[in-house]
Every structure is written in C-alpha cells, then in structure tokens.
Chains A and B, each alone.
Chain A
Amino acid sequence: MKKDGKIWIAGIENELHGETLSSVSLRESLGKRESIKVLPEVWVVKIGGQSIMDRGAEAVLPILEELVEAKKEGVNFILCTGGGTRARHVYSLGLDLDLPTGMLARLGASIPVQNARMLQLLMAKHGGIMAYDEEFEKLPFFINSGCIPITTGMPPNEFWEKSSAEGIIPANRTDAGVYLLGEFLGAKGVLYIKDEDGLYTDDPKKDPDAEFIAETTATELIENGQDDLIVERVVIEYMQRAENIKEIQIVNGTKRGNIKAAFNGGHVGTIIRA
C-alpha cells in the first residue's frame, strides 16, 4: 500500500517518519531522553603505545602484574592498546606519499592490534583474551567468565576517518577510541596509563619548565590554547557533549600502585573533567 507516493504499512509511523533528520527543531525535541548504561561496572583502560608498550618489558610487565592484582580483587576492565612508535612511522611514510587521512587511519589501525596481541599472549594465563569489535556484543560473556578482554584502542573508522580542518593525521586515534568505547558502555570510568604523572603545561619530555596540572576541565584546555596535550584533542571535545563519561584520569603506570589507586577512586594523576 502507498501513502503520499511511498510504501506504507500500519505501524511504520513514528516521530521521525517523513522527517529529514536534519531538522533543527526535530533534533532539539529528542534531546532530553536519557539512555541506558550498557556495562556500568566495567572500566575501560588504555595502555599507552609510545609511553608504555615501546618501553618494553621494564614498563609493561609491572603494569600487567598490577592489573592482574586488581582483577583478582574484583575490578573488571577492558584493556585497550595504543599504537606508539610504529604508528608514527607509518604515518610519516603515508604523509611522505600524500596519502589521505582515511588511508592513514587504516594504516594506523594495524599497530595497536599488534600491541593488543602482545598483551593477550602475556595475559593469557590470567584470562586475557582478544575481543575484536565484531565480538563486542559478547563482552558480558567474556567478563562474566573471569576473562580480561583485550582490544585495540583504535576506533573502527579506518577509511571512514574524516579529514581534519588542519593536518592530515587522523584526529581519532586510540585515546579517542578508548574514550568513545567507555562513553558507549556507560563504563565505570576511563583510565589512561601513560609514562608521565599526567598533564603538563607543555610536553615535559621536551620542556623542563613544564608544570604539572593535577586537575583541569575540558573547557579550560580548549580555551587556553595550550600547544601540546597528553590526550588527543578530540577526547576533550567529546567530553563536553558526552552523556556518561564526564571525567577521565591519566596516570603514570610506571609508578607501582597508581593503577589500583585510580580504580579505588584515588586522584593519583591528572583528572580532566567535562
């Protein structure tokens, strides 16, 4: 049956029926609903690529020990990986060839998967398993069976990564993927494990005068125009309009005890609030 020239059956009508979905008033009218939390008791944790993985056994193994301890104490988390130096290398190669942003995002996606697989091998005896994005609907099964799901931090954007206003390197990399995963899950928290105590006024590896910032807001970080940050810029943009994850913490995983302290609600690194 047709109505107004279109296929019509009873029940197909709803508040969006016949609308373009680009109507300002329609979108505003949908703004007040709350959404459910998918896995509210689970943390989403990122292990830095350049900051942790590329330091090798010396940095990685003690962090994994601490994470296993936390798991035994009842903390549930999904472990995500960054890319690091090899991702930077392939981005450099891609830039040298004038490849588009979507292609760089595709290239950059391979490296955190390597890192995730390394962690899975190291964590297997403690229940570490690979969780690919196609299997994310099985996360409750993985967690309820006492496993530690390990996955890439990269969002699945790949060829669909948008070009940025400035610069060709993909804006959504592993910090963004980890944040968006936490936001989608309505997770207990999102924790970034790096090799610095947190955020500084500049990159402390290059500027010895850089000052530590224990606590700040996304708005402040956007407004003060600081050149360098410890998390991808899109993360603080997303935080400003997010529904669930209004706060993230960046901790120094190379100092024993920080990770467990953060799981227990401790302020041991930099906290960025929306």
Chain B
Amino acid sequence: MSELLTGDGRTHVNSGLMRESLVSKKLIAETDKKEVRRMVPDVNMVSIGGQSIMDRGRDAILPIVDEIAKLKESHKMVVGVGGGARARHTLSIGLGLGLPIGGLARIVGGVEENNRDILQFLLAPHGGITFVKDHFQDLQLFLNNGMIPICIGQPPYHFWEPPSIEGGRLPDNGPDVGLFLMAEVIGVESVIYVKDVDGIYTDNPKKNPEAKFLAEVSAKELLEGDYPDLPVERELLRTLENARTIKSIRVINGLEAGNLQAALEGKPVGTLVYSSRYEK
C-alpha cells in the first residue's frame, strides 16, 4: 500500500518518483529499460501506401486486398493506410492559406479516413472493420473474432503537432509514424510498409535512375547519410531508433504478388530498416 507523506505543504504518494521533477537526466536514466512489455505480440502491422497503392485504384488495390484476405488465415494483421494525392492537396491548400503546422496536422487525417473506409468496404467480406482511436483497447475483441482491423495512419497529435525538426512547414509526423507507434505499443511481430517501389534506394528511383537499391540499412544511416529522398517519413526513422519493442521495419513493393506473404513469413524481401540500438 502506498503511504501518504506530508510536511512540505504538498501531499505526496510515496512512490519512486516522489517529489521528482521528472526532468532530471539522472532520474530519466534510472528509469531506462531496453525492453518493455508487449500488448499483443503475435500481430503484424501492414501499412498500405496512400500515394503508392491507393491512388492507383483497382489495379493495385484489389490484388493487395485479395492477398490480405488470403493471408488472414495464417497471420493476424492490423491494416493501416495513408492519404496519398488528397493528403498532398490538403497540405498544399493549407500551406497556401498560411495554416500553422498544428492546423495542417489536424485536417490531413480526414482523407486517410476515405482510404480506410474504402479498404474496410473491400475487406468486409473477409472481416474488415474500421479500427479507430477510441477502440484501441478493443483490439483483441476484433482479432479473436477473426476480424481485420483497418485504421488511419496519421497520429492524433492534431493541434499539438510539434514544430518541424526538418524545417519547412509540413508536419514531421505522418501515417508512417502513426502506424509505427500503434505497432510499438501493441508490440507487434512485424511492421510492413507496402509501397510501389522495391524498397529503399539511395535516392528516389522514379526520379534518379542512378539510385541504388538497399536490401538492409540502419535507420541511423538513412538519417545521417546522404539520402535526399526516401519512400518513408524521416520521422519514422528517428522513431524506430528509439523504439523498445520494434527493432526493424520492412518496405516492400505491393505491386508484385507474393511480397506481402514473404514479408509476413520473415523472408528477405524489399528493404529491411533496422534500429542501430540493437544487434540485427
């Protein structure tokens, strides 16, 4: 039982952090943990790209939907989705209107909800259901009933989106980060980003034919080296470097059949990005 302490004008609960400012570096270091507990470790987070997959329409979406439906029998999945062209249009109009970064972050998720609803509709025969923030703790109810929870990626920082580390007026935190963070708390088995390129290259392969493919790379290297363009958010890499339950992510080409299955089975497909905090 906790003991109540008084005497300095405040009522404290006698806990390890009693009277601490929680800002002290020494104290923070003492609370460090290399690993933390996982909530539902046998799940996989599958992120479907907005621009790379959804904007392509039926040619790209339907084969992925079929693959997810088939793989559902052998793998538990949470499916997340980004915004794509409409997210970019939202940001562009918002920037032109002079909206602050927190305002952009508040509105941009709206178009991801379109994509989530589309995926839910298409996956409904196979158990696709919408998975929203307030039902995060109902995850097991959905999974144990054979459902495929489908969510948006944009994290709910909304007006509280921090000023950008990368400079510029765009929010650093987008759907890649949001889905990763859900995956981190769930403590998933794997995080797979389904895009329209084979993985990560030294530059954007659609614009630079000299760009070289990377089969494995650390997030730290991608952040510190000369990589002018990436198919994932840079904040995802910073977030991965500090993560405690997830040590790597995979970026795969969803336009090629079989890649998602290979990734779920842990086979070397696409690019593996690992956190330099851990041994590979």
Contact = CB atoms under 8 A, between A and B. Distances in A.
Contacts of B161: 180, 184
Interface string B149-191: 0000001111111111111111000100010011011010000
Query: What is the interface of chain A mostly: helix, strand, loop, or mixed?
Result: loop
Contacts of B185: 100, 102-103, 159
Bin the interface of chain A by size.
35 or more
A164 B91 CA distance: 28
Interface stretch (A62-70, A90-98, A120-128, A142-150): A90-98
A28 interface: yes
Contacts of B158: 133, 156
A90 to B, nearest CB: 9
B141 interface: no
Contact of A85 (B11, B29, B55, B103): B11
A198 interface: no
Nearest to A158: B156
A269 interface: no
B55 A238 contact: no
A162 B103 contact: no
A54 B15 contact: no
A85 B156 contact: no
A159 B181 contact: yes
A242 interface: yes
Contacts of B155: 157, 160
B17 interface: yes
A160 B15 contact: no
A33 B98 contact: yes
B7 to A, nearest CB: 12
Interface residues of B, number: 89
A163 to B, nearest CB: 5
Interface centre among B25, B174, B178 (most CB of A within 10 A): B25
Contacts of B178: 160
A30 B85 contact: no
Contacts of B38: 100
Nearest to A166: B32
A68 B98 CA distance: 34
Nearest to A50: B10
B256 to A, nearest CB: 14
A205 B19 contact: yes
A192 B59 CA distance: 55
B259 to A, nearest CB: 18
B244 A100 contact: yes
Given A21-B170, A180-B162, A232 B244 contact: no
Nearest to B232: A22
B220 to A, nearest CB: 12
Contacts of A59: 9
Contacts of B159: 133, 136, 180-181, 184
A35 B169 contact: yes
Contacts of B91: 16, 21
Interface string A214-237: 000000000000011111111000
A99 interface: yes
A209 interface: no
Contact of A162 (B55, B164, B165, B181): B181
Nearest to B105: A184
24 contacts: A5-B59, A6-B56, A6-B85, A12-B89, A14-B89, A35-B103, A88-B20, A88-B22, A89-B13, A91-B17, A96-B16, A98-B37, A99-B36, A99-B37, A160-B182, A162-B181, A163-B242, A167-B28, A168-B36, A180-B102, A227-B26, A233-B23, A241-B167, A242-B163
Given A30-B95, A160-B181, 7 more contacts: A14-B93, A33-B169, A54-B10, A56-B11, A92-B17, A227-B24, A232-B23
Interface of B: 2, 8-13, 15-29, 31-33, 35-39, 51, 55-57, 59-60, 85-86, 88-89, 91-93, 95, 97-103, 136, 155-170, 174, 178, 181-182, 184-185, 187, 204, 228-234, 239, 241-245
